Amino acid sequence: MATAKKVAPKAAKKVTAPAKKVAVKAPAKKAPVSKTAKAIERLTANIAKLTERKNKLGAEITALRDQRTALKAAPVATAPKAAAPAKKAKPAAKK
């Protein structure tokens, strides 16, 4: 009987801790979402952000164009042109 294995000591070590009854809460089940659906969701969010940015820049460009148009029109209507200073006559060349 030299070849018989001793199983009892190992089994005794495993049972040393008293068994506790712990209520294990099951994790909340989420609807299974595919990788493709997640990627589409991420891309849709990025597109929304970029569209918002594009619209904001477009509005700013429009405002600047309007401002430029107003500045071009304002000097003509409000301020008269100042007369150019008279040029000095060149002395006649000696002959």
Inter-CA distances, 18 with 11, 21, 44, 65, 86, Å: 14, 10, 53, 80, 111
For the chain, give every domain's residue range.
38-75
Region at 15 (left for phi over 0; alpha for psi -120 to 50; beta for the rest): alpha
Residue type for position 22: V
Q: How confident is the model at residue 73 (pLDDT cuts 50, 70, 90)?
A: confident
pLDDT digits (tens, 9 = 90+) for 7-48: 555 555 555 555 666 666 766 777 677 999 999 999 999 999
